[in-house]
Structure 1
Amino acid sequence: MGKAMFLAAFLMGCRAGPDVVFLTIDTLRVDHVGAFSSKSPAKTPNIDALAKDSVLLSSAYSPISVTGPAFVTLHTGMDPKEHGVVINMFRGGVPLSDSTDTLAEMLVNRGYSTGAFVSGFTLHPQLNLDQGFEVYSYPAKKQARRLGKETLSETLDWMQWQLFGNYFVWFHTYDPHGPWDVWATKEELEDQKNKNKDALKSKQKEQASDDKSTTIHGAHKDKSSYIYTHSKPISNKERIPKYQYIQGIEEPSFYEKMYVRGVEESDKQVGAILEQLKKQGRYDNALIVLTADHGESFTERDLWFDHGTFPSEEQLHVPLLIKLPKNQQSGTNVDSLVGLKDILPTVLGILQIDAPAQVTGKNLLGPGGDFSEQGSAYLMGESSHCKKERSLECSPLGPEGKVFALRTPQTSMWLSPQADKNLIWSFKDSEESSAELFDAQEASSKEQDYLERLLSERRTRMDSLTAIQWPQKKTNSKTTNNKSSNSITEEEEMELLKQLGYVDDE
């Protein structure tokens, strides 16, 4: 036996169990991953290769369409209403409580080395999701985001120095999240701007003609089911959030093309981490989870290229791969309804660790240790808040304007607040592109039950949502954790938020 092989065998013998690897890609649409969609515009060979060694869960959903609360769910096994992080902190939300256990805390207490490497300002340590991580690397103090390749470099450096024992590593790339101009060359930007100048007048006329009546959250398919009435035509520019808008470019396909590049960059980063695991002799026995916090709307809704606005299919449906040690059950496709909160108890089940009483997610392993139909009959979902955008006519503004959803394997139902009344919309198609007002008189008993659950969700949540300070000309985040070394001033925070387009106009 050669020295290198002997050393590898010796180090593997020092490990009591599998390493745990979380690979998370921010804002990743499930239809842009080859393993999940044969029509994916993005090429994702590394994720697709991982999928062959994994269990693929094709009906996985995030509970909320924004980053902070969704990742707290991932690391705690609890829904937002349970862990208390129901909106990003810079919008008035609170951090995760010190009393809530995270997966990192559970594993570090069992001898794991723990490291987290995140790319977005929304995962700043003040969120308190760093508890349990011995290393928590995030963008520099005055940096709103960092490219995934920068985060990758730090991740690989940390991984290669973990010689003994097991580790839990969390890698997070922000590359598919806007603004997307970072992926365009100067020549492409100029060329597209010139094309837009020639086509702008005709496009404006077409848009005006399309929008004289109404739209159902941007889905122009069934005029009998439209939700909102726009009193004036909405231009392409008005449908693109300010932080996404590239001056002089209004063609949707250009933005979609830039999004694809962000996804493909993320796939390369995933490939580099998988390669590192293989070099260290850790891949075969590793427990690897690949998923996202939420997706992204393109032109499906009133507001284009955004998230946080609706609990919709394209914003909440996320890819989920779980690679078991020794590639057990590889090639299994589970289509039952599962949520991000089910990942933690499933990981603990694989590691044969009892889940804390706080965890409400399900262990997706059946009694025999196989992935079986252990999913949910329904899942609740929610948006972040009602945004002040020209193309949106939601109300009231802020977290009180949250849209709640109940999703089953066959259908979904939205509760959309409008002024002093609630509108209930029923979707029969999987893409949620055509809705109809819910007819209680024609509903089955099960549908009636779902309706009552939706209404109850809003009733029980209203006090806490009303307590969130809104609107915010200054940040109102309150922390209970003492992290003065990581703190930033309100002015610095507002500047970072402007870079990411998170500050709404008042």
Structure 2
Amino acid sequence: MKAMTRKPVKRFSTVNLLPRERRRRHARFAAMRDTGTILTARGAAALALLLSLPACLEAPSPPPRNVVLITFDTTRADVLGVYGGDAAVSPAFDALAARGTLFLQAQAQAAVTPVAHASILTGLNPYNHGLRTLHGNRLYHLPGTIPTLAARLQDLGYDTAAFVSAFPCSRRFGLDQGFEVFDADFGGAPEARIGPAGNISTGLAQRDAAATTESALRWLAGRDRERPYFLWVHYFDPHDPLLRPPVPRQEPFMDGFPRFSEMEEALTRDPERFVADYVKDPDLMRSWLRRLYRAEVSWADTQMGRLFAALDADGGLEHTVIAVTSDHGEGLGDHDWWGHGILYQEQLHVPLALAGPGVPRDLLVQDRVRHVDLAPTLLHLAAGSDFGHKVDGISLLPLMTRRAAGDEPRAGELPGPAYADAVTLMRYGAVFDPGVSEVRDDQLYVWIDSNLKWIRHRLHADRSELYDLEADPGEQVNLVPVRPRDAGRLDRALEEEHPMTAEIDFSLPEDDEVRQRLKSLGYVD
């Protein structure tokens, strides 16, 4: 990773905003204070007059800042350039990180799209916000009683708009709460495509990043410029090998893969032939899918760059706080798991960068932070406000400020242990064989305290795991047999949060259209 140099911070003084006479008197008072001059009666009277001047002569408080939140679906941190991946994948993200703050150890609270996004938008862990499952007939919807970042900013006078790219972020899951504009129009997606696992994308469940960006840009162009705004843009492309970028945008990532052209043509023109000729070759599919995954992340990054360029051209960047993260990562074969939904670090370690007014520049934060910290941080940066009630996250602004100054954080400025869960029993359509599914018949709960990570298997306690993330970042050596006391300590801390009290309904949704949309994305058989 290329080292980032810290630039000197330009100090801002409200004195420079005062009228000339007031500045002169302010300087005289400062000189008396610094030299210990004893005030005469006349001087005391003058000082009293100075201190009683109307508040209207004081420096005005800064106006509320715009907020842009961008979430990439299914994007591992280590695929991006600034996290050690290919720099060609993420030039827009890397540039944002270079002019702001990059968090090297950000943790998702779930590896399922709607659950993770609910934590991002509420500052609450899943057991507190109540959205626990992707499918089922209960606990799939964020309760209306749970305040969201959008609702809080709306109360503060913000325009709020969201442009999402897939069904798992739709109104069904309650993620529209607080948004005046909630655009989940997937009509532009191709209408009938067969995926490598034999599942069918109907076009009702997703759209590509370019279409989502176009809708967001139209809204930005027509918005009320007298009001600050909160904009959430969600990109789904890395989730689905069917949502492929244009061929010229795939080609740089297919260098050295001689069968790319024939596979692309087969998948586009004759999906049945693709399934017959290619899917049952695991090595071929793994090589193709890993390359395609990077191309899809790159395509979403390009569209995000278009959004940044439009903000810059409009003069809005200097007044806008930008946050970019992903909801969760992807297995890509690590731990013998291709998709997501389980809780190893390739699925929980997510990218996170902040930039804009109030955000320290060129700062790398090594401390572990969490998705639940993002909403409180954005409220603090944008409006100097908070949720008005207790949340599980904290504002990261004090931590960033201390680290930028080279100081150690004070008590309460470091995030606490990180929680995550995966409580939905799901059968994922296997990528390599349409007749096989990857099955997880368990409920998983994670507690990360310092470098120790505890994964509790609720339905199969003998499979529970303990890892030292500093010594073993790949989570290959289960320490439960040699460190049972640490395992017990973390398990007790997890139990104290009462995350397992909910009755989870694992039945398929009763609504046929919902079932078809979930099937089209490979979530259910």
Tell me which of 226, 238, 241 is aligned to 1:179: 241
Deviation sequence 1:92-116 (CA, Å, 0-9, x none): 5331111111111111122211110
Q: Where does residue 163 of structure 2 map in the other structure?
A: 117
Query: How far apart, CA to CA, are the structure 2 residues paired with 1:338 and 1:363?
Result: 10
1:261 aligns with 2:295: yes
Alpha-carbon distance change, 354 to 425 in structure 1, aligned in 2, over 3 angstroms: closer
Q: Secondary structure at the match of 2:82?
A: coil
Alpha-carbon distance change, 184 to 272 in structure 1, aligned in 2, over 3 angstroms: closer
Query: How far apart, CA to CA, are the structure 1 residues paired with 2:72 and 2:108?
Result: 13
Query: How far apart, CA to CA, are the structure 2 residues paired with 1:108 and 1:377?
Result: 29
Query: How far apart, CA to CA, are the structure 2 residues paired with 1:105 and 1:246?
Result: 48
Query: How far apart, CA to CA, are the structure 2 residues paired with 1:315 and 1:356?
Result: 32
Alpha-carbon distance change, 149 to 90 in structure 1, aligned in 2, over 3 angstroms: farther
Q: Secondary structure at the match of 2:78?
A: helix
Query: How far apart, CA to CA, are the structure 2 residues paired with 1:247 and 1:58?
Result: 36
Letter in 2 for 1:117: F
1:382 aligns with 2:382: no
Q: Secondary structure at the match of 2:128?
A: helix
| Contact 1:302-1:392 at 8 Å conserved across structures | no
1:412 aligns with 2:433: no
How many Å apart are 1:436 and its aligned residue?
2.1
Give the structure-2-normalised TM-score.
0.72
| Contact 1:336-1:409 at 8 Å conserved across structures | no
How many Å apart are 1:347 and its aligned residue?
1.4
How many Å apart are 1:461 and its aligned residue?
3.9
1:28 aligns with 2:28: no
| Contact 1:181-1:246 at 8 Å conserved across structures | no
Alpha-carbon distance change, 382 to 430 in structure 1, aligned in 2, over 3 angstroms: farther
Q: Where does residue 52 of structure 2 map in the other structure?
A: none
Q: Where does residue 283 of structure 1 map in the other structure?
A: 317
Deviation sequence 1:157-207 (CA, Å, 0-9, x none): 00111233211111111011123463486995564599xxxxxxxxxxxxx
| Contact 2:163-2:216 at 8 Å conserved across structures | yes
Alpha-carbon distance change, 155 to 105 in structure 1, aligned in 2, over 3 angstroms: same
- 1:22-421 correspondence runs (5 A): 22-37=69-84, 39-40=85-86, 42-90=88-136, 92-140=138-186, 143-162=204-223, 163-180=225-242, 182-183=244-245, 188=259, 191=262, 247-250=279-282, 251=284, 252-304=286-338, 306-308=339-341, 310-325=342-357, 328-350=359-381, 351-366=383-398, 369-370=401-402, 373=409, 374-388=413-427, 394=440, 397=441, 401-419=442-460, 421=462
Alpha-carbon distance change, 447 to 324 in structure 1, aligned in 2, over 3 angstroms: farther
How many Å apart are 1:143 and its aligned residue?
1.2
Letter in 1 for 2:75: L
How many Å apart are 1:279 and its aligned residue?
1.3
Query: How far apart, CA to CA, are the structure 1 residues paired with 2:293 and 2:455?
Result: 27
Query: How far apart, CA to CA, are the structure 1 residues paired with 2:461 and 2:104?
Result: 38
Q: Secondary structure at the match of 1:284?
A: helix
| Contact 2:426-2:524 at 8 Å conserved across structures | no
How many Å apart are 1:139 and its aligned residue?
3.1
Q: Where does residue 493 of structure 2 map in the other structure?
A: 453
- Specify every segment of 5 or more residues in structure 2 that has no aligned partner in the other structure, as ranges: 1-59, 188-202, 251-257, 266-274, 429-435
Query: How far apart, CA to CA, are the structure 2 residues paired with 1:83 and 1:418?
Result: 23
| Contact 2:158-2:228 at 8 Å conserved across structures | yes
| Contact 1:65-1:295 at 8 Å conserved across structures | yes
Deviation sequence 1:46-86 (CA, Å, 0-9, x none): 11111111111111000110110111111111010000011
How many Å apart are 1:451 and its aligned residue?
2.9
- Specify every segment of 5 or more residues in structure 1 that has no aligned partner in the other structure, as ranges: 1-12, 195-242, 477-489
How many Å apart are 1:288 and its aligned residue?
0.5
| Contact 1:60-1:337 at 8 Å conserved across structures | yes
Q: Secondary structure at the match of 1:336?
A: strand
How many Å apart are 1:303 and its aligned residue?
2.3
Q: Where does residue 66 of structure 2 map in the other structure?
A: 19
Query: How far apart, CA to CA, are the structure 1 residues paired with 2:366 and 2:82?
Result: 14
Give the structure-1-normalised TM-score.
0.74
Letter in 2 for 1:354: D
Deviation sequence 1:353-391 (CA, Å, 0-9, x none): 133214221111228955564333521222243434667
How many Å apart are 1:43 and its aligned residue?
2.1
How many Å apart are 1:426 and its aligned residue?
3.2
How many Å apart are 1:407 and its aligned residue?
1.9
| Contact 2:106-2:351 at 8 Å conserved across structures | yes
Query: How far apart, CA to CA, are the structure 1 residues paired with 2:459 and 2:479?
Result: 14
Q: Where does residue 199 of structure 1 map in the other structure?
A: none
Query: How far apart, CA to CA, are the structure 2 residues paired with 1:28 and 1:367?
Result: 25
Q: Secondary structure at the match of 1:182?
A: coil
| Contact 2:322-2:354 at 8 Å conserved across structures | yes
Q: Where does residue 497 of structure 1 map in the other structure?
A: 518
Q: Secondary structure at the match of 2:150?
A: helix
Alpha-carbon distance change, 193 to 92 in structure 1, aligned in 2, over 3 angstroms: same
Deviation sequence 1:120-167 (CA, Å, 0-9, x none): 101111222212111000134761100111010000000111233211
Letter in 1 for 2:514: E
Query: How far apart, CA to CA, are the structure 2 residues paired with 1:53 and 1:247?
Result: 43
Deviation sequence 1:258-303 (CA, Å, 0-9, x none): 1011100011111011111111111012111000100101111222
Q: Secondary structure at the match of 2:426?
A: coil
Query: How far apart, CA to CA, are the structure 2 residues paired with 1:27 and 1:404?
Result: 19
Deviation sequence 1:416-440 (CA, Å, 0-9, x none): 2454756344345443341225137
Query: How far apart, CA to CA, are the structure 2 residues paired with 1:91 and 1:433?
Result: 34
1:469 aligns with 2:488: no
| Contact 1:79-1:341 at 8 Å conserved across structures | yes
Letter in 1 for 2:476: S
How many Å apart are 1:344 and its aligned residue?
1.0
Alpha-carbon distance change, 385 to 246 in structure 1, aligned in 2, over 3 angstroms: farther
Letter in 2 for 1:20: V
Query: How far apart, CA to CA, are the structure 2 residues paired with 1:338 and 1:125?
Result: 28
Query: How far apart, CA to CA, are the structure 1 residues paired with 2:332 and 2:399?
Result: 41
Alpha-carbon distance change, 104 to 181 in structure 1, aligned in 2, over 3 angstroms: closer
| Contact 2:161-2:181 at 8 Å conserved across structures | yes
CA-based RMSD of the aligned residues comes to: 3.1
Q: Secondary structure at the match of 1:274?
A: helix
Query: How far apart, CA to CA, are the structure 2 residues paired with 1:496 and 1:383?
Result: 21
